[in-house]
Amino acid sequence: MPSISPRQPKGKRVSSGVFENVVNPFCGTLCDDLVVERTEAGLKVVKNGCSQSVAGFERKLPPANPSVGGKDVALSKAIEEAARLIGKAKLPLFGGLATDVEGMRAVMALAERASGVVDHALSEAQYRNLKILQTTGWTTTTLAETRNRADLIIIAGSDIHRLHPRFFERIVAPPASMFDVTAPKRTIVFIGKGLDRSGAKGAHIGEVVTLACNDDAAGHIVALLRARLRGFRVTPPKRGGVTLADIDALAERCRKAKYGVVVWAPPALDFAHAELAVEQFTGLVKDLNQTTRFAGLALGGAEGAVTAATVCTWISGYPLRVSYASGAPDYDPYRWTIGRMLKDGEGDVLLWIASISPSLVPPPAKVPTIVLGTPGLALTAPASVFIPVGTPGVDHAGRLIRVDNVVSLPLKDLGRAELPSAAEILSAIEAAL
């Protein structure tokens, strides 16, 4: 059974203490500078918190027991029933996948063994990126690189401040940067009118520019920008209040930038064929790299989405949406989409992992559902089997991969609740098959 850094073996936990360098698992950017205090009353974020980490760490867990058909049972019974349901299924679906590296390893092993399909709850957003990566490639950067180097940051059609409440504080407007990229040099451009701009302030921020198009038109505006950068004549935009002069002014800023970063968050680009907007963002980066330096930075990645895609890739060769029905991984990002499969009546049992936040509920399913969830998971329908599991970095140790696809971080056991990890339960189910 996988175990990692059991710093505090179950049952022998300290009742209070202060934890430093704590990673926030509730957001894809994995801030790791939190200070969290543990008392009899629970956890409290005492330093470097944000609305999401406070909500995540300080949430009081309701009591939760393993259950089968809505009735509380012993954990071993629930595992047995989960194994029975998976064992007799022809095509089990392994969805949600909000877990850590260890949980993903275990779910991959189980899916292989049970000839099932793996897909993450937030794959739809990730695939806005992956479709472009797999078609055209791209040039990207990471959080620390952006923090220290960017003199132009273009926030494209995504409400970054809402998704990542500390992104501006830590990356856009940090107190210090390596190469003295500070005001008036650091220009922030928002493309979209619904974006929270309140983070773009501070001693180190120069100009803040807004191109107030509808947020879903950012791709269109960037396409016009690319055309103007190439010297083409274009029909003036009819998108919100953006004029050709605004676009030309941005083109000039791009040309003059030494290191421009285009930031977007795929979860925010929630409209049909949003990958085409992503293609414009990465295309802008590609165009400008011929003469200066530009890079993309895609955010999002909550609920362990990046971890799930990454671990699935190194184990199977493919980033999620993989079926093991034949015994070997078969990749089809359309066919093996669990959301679609459930709607279309495909698959005959759903195992759903939601160990991070209580809102990641499974989609409505007509098939039996096994849920490995954090206590308080707001299920809309009772699960056939429910097994409460711990949150990585809160109830047990673990590791997560950060949204920029490079850095991964160790998660501490803060000893909130005596709950097994998803990895432990998944391995036990596999052993019981």
Partner 1 sequence: MLIKLTGGKIYDPANNVSGEIRDIYVEDGKIVAAKPNARPDATYDVKGRIVMAGAIDPHTHIGGGKMTIARMLLPEDHRGDPVTRTELTRAGSGRSVPSTHVTGYRYAEMGYTACFEPAMLAANARQAHMEMGDTPMVDKGAFVMLGSDDYFLRQLAAKKDFNSIKDYVAWTMHAAQAIAVKVVNPGGISAFKFNQRKLDLDEEHVYYHVTPRQIILTLARAIQELGVTHPLHIHGCNLGVPGNIETTLATIRAAEGLRVHMTHTQFLSYGTEGDRKFSSGAARLTELANKTPNVSIDVGQVLFGQTCTASGDSMRQYAISKSAHPKKPVIMDIECDAGCGVVPIRYRDKSFVNAMQWVIGLETFLLFDDPWRIFLTTDHPNGAPFFFYPHLIRLLMDKSFRDDMLQKINPDAQAQSELLKSLTREYTLDEIAIMTRAGPARSLGLKDRGHLGAGASGDITVYRDNPDREAMFATPELVFKNGEVVVKNGKVVKVVQGATHVARPDYDKSIEKPLNDYFDRYLTVRMENFKLADEEIIGGDNGAIIVQPTAARAT
Q: Is 293 in the site for partner 1 (CB under 8 A)?
A: yes
Pairing state between β 17-22 and 34-39: antiparallel
In whole angstroms, how close is the CB of 27 to partner 1 at the nearest point?
13
Q: Is 410 in the site for partner 1 (CB under 8 A)?
A: yes
Across-strand partners of 295?
261
Cα separation, 112 vs 223, in Å, equals 43
Q: Is 431 in the site for partner 1 (CB under 8 A)?
A: no
Nearer to partner 1, 192 or 319 (CB): 319
Q: Is 87 in the site for partner 1 (CB under 8 A)?
A: no
Across-strand partners of 98?
354
In whole angstroms, how close is the CB of 301 to partner 1 at the nearest point?
14
Cα separation, 45 vs 166, in Å, equals 14
In whole angstroms, how close is the CB of 6 to partner 1 at the nearest point?
7
DSSP 269-313: --STTTHHHHHHHHHHHHHHTTTSEEEEEE----TTHHHHHHHHH
In whole angstroms, how close is the CB of 139 to partner 1 at the nearest point?
4
Cα dihedral 219, 205, 286, 141, rounded to 10, equals: -110
Q: How far is CA 90 from the centre of its chain?
A: 30
Q: Is 109 in the site for partner 1 (CB under 8 A)?
A: yes
Neighbouring CB atoms inside 10 A of 291's CB total 10
Tokens standing for 19?
A: 């934890």
In whole angstroms, how close is the CB of 195 to partner 1 at the nearest point?
22
The answer to whether the beta carbons of residues 27 and 58 sit under 8 Å apart is no
Q: Is 3 in the site for partner 1 (CB under 8 A)?
A: yes
Site for partner 1 in 124-163 (CB under 8 A): 130, 133-145, 147-149
Site for partner 1 in 168-187 (CB under 8 A): 170-171, 176-179
Q: Is 287 in the site for partner 1 (CB under 8 A)?
A: no
Judged by the rule CB under 8 A, the positions of this chain that interact with partner 1 are 2-6, 20-21, 23, 32-33, 101-102, 105, 109, 112-113, 130, 133-145, 147-149, 170-171, 176-179, 258-259, 289, 292-293, 295, 309-310, 313-319, 324, 326-331, 399, 401, 405-410
